Chains A and B, each alone.
Chain A
């Protein structure tokens, strides 16, 4: 068992550092943009650390990909895939899913 801060708390600390101490000092637009990208990456990592939704296993994904490529598409493939991709989006960009509500 590690001492605190544990991984999510460390990620938050770095995100807060970039947001409050680095971002306001940047004049260069390109650097500002890349810093926002870096903060976004930390946001994804932070959500992933709490991630415990059931999803398709790597073996399931490989088998499904193989069957679809071969034209042997399972009847429920579309709904299975939509649920799988939504699960990924709840980690990578939860706000994106709101566009479809």
Chain B
């Protein structure tokens, strides 16, 4: 048994049980972000996703508290998860495979997961931005523009909440698993649909709009075919601006984990200076 990664809020342990490779996710000491699920709820989401036929590591058991912190066990999987490596050499057909999985997630009945939070996303962003204290007028400008151009909402669906390259495992033949379900919530389906197109998640392969791995058209066409929800590239513009606002704020709040001493880490520290990249991108998107 050994520790694979010590994160801010979660530990990951490799455990072999009767020759079966397992991964045990356990809460770490740090303060858990308000928007993340408890491990019990994350496990329930993983089970619901597995039942719906989504490609996820097989959920094995919720373990309750292990040494005072909750944990669950799931299948330990192989596959490439590093965004930059996937974007350098994306497997063929990844666009439509991503759309297939997203369609299955969005078809999970919300009543199956009654604990998932909903609520106004812009209000949530204002709350998070205010927790940062230092003024960020470029992000305020993005939020103001989003307020002024809000699209008609679509009915809410069960959303993954962090659906992008970096949270998938792929092999040479394509998508194998969707990982990291801790941000699952109820939202407009276009929130998930537009998140992987944010420039930061193209991992340097900027010319491939969808996560640095492919084109938008086949992804949106397959999603429409599977769900009946027809979204075109122009519809996603608002959600792409929203994604940049979300990640800019995410960088600032994660940096505060370091600055406030909750979780000292050079990685969190530099995120504070990365927010400007999303600010520039959102201003450029609004300009266009």
Q: Spell out A's residues near B (CB within 8 Å).
A: 30, 34, 37-38, 40-41, 44, 58, 61-62, 64-66, 68-69, 71, 73, 77-78, 81-82, 84-86, 88-89, 91-93, 96-97, 99-100
Segment from B14-22, B93-101, B109-117, B134-142 that makes contact with A: B134-142
Is the C-beta of B5 less than 8 angstroms from some C-beta in chain A? Answer: yes
Complex contacts, A84 vs chain B, CB 8 Å: 137-138
Q: How far is the CA of A27 from the CA of B266 in the complex (A)?
A: 19
Segment from B72-80, B165-173, B268-276 that makes contact with A: B268-276
Complex contacts, A86 vs chain B, CB 8 Å: 280
Q: How far is the CA of A6 from the CA of B74 in the complex (A)?
A: 53
Cβ A61 vs Cβ B280 within 8 A: no
Is the C-beta of B206 less than 8 angstroms from some C-beta in chain A? Answer: yes
B130 to chain A, nearest CB (A): 10
Q: Which 9 A-B pairs have the closest CB atoms?
A: A65-B135, A92-B273, A68-B140, A64-B137, A65-B137, A88-B276, A62-B135, A61-B135, A85-B279
B266 to chain A, nearest CB (A): 5
A14 to chain B, nearest CB (A): 13
Complex contacts, A81 vs chain B, CB 8 Å: 137-138, 141, 279, 283
Complex contacts, B140 vs chain A, CB 8 Å: 64-65, 68-69
Cβ A68 vs Cβ B280 within 8 A: no
Q: Which residue of A lies closest to B276 (CB)?
A: A88
Cβ A68 vs Cβ B276 within 8 A: no
Main secondary structure of the interface of A (DSSP, over half): helix
A80 to chain B, nearest CB (A): 8
CB-based A-B contact count at 8 angstroms? 80
By size class, the interface of chain B is 20 to 34
Q: Which residue of B lies closest to A87 (CB)?
A: B276
A89 to chain B, nearest CB (A): 5
Q: Which residue of A lies closest to B138 (CB)?
A: A81
Q: How far is the CA of A44 from the CA of B269 in the complex (A)?
A: 12
Q: Which residue of B lies closest to A86 (CB)?
A: B280
Max chain B Cβ within 10 angstroms of own Cβ: one of A58, A62, A68, A77: A68
Q: In the complex, given contacts A65-B136, A93-B274, what are 5 additional A-B residue pairs having Cβ atoms less than 8 angstroms apart?
A: A44-B273, A62-B135, A65-B140, A69-B143, A96-B277
Cβ A69 vs Cβ B144 within 8 A: yes
Contact of A41 among B5, B137, B269, B287 (CB under 8 A): B269
Cβ B284 vs Cβ A100 within 8 A: yes
Complex contacts, B287 vs chain A, CB 8 Å: 78, 82
Complex contacts, B262 vs chain A, CB 8 Å: none
Q: Which residue of B lies closest to A71 (CB)?
A: B144
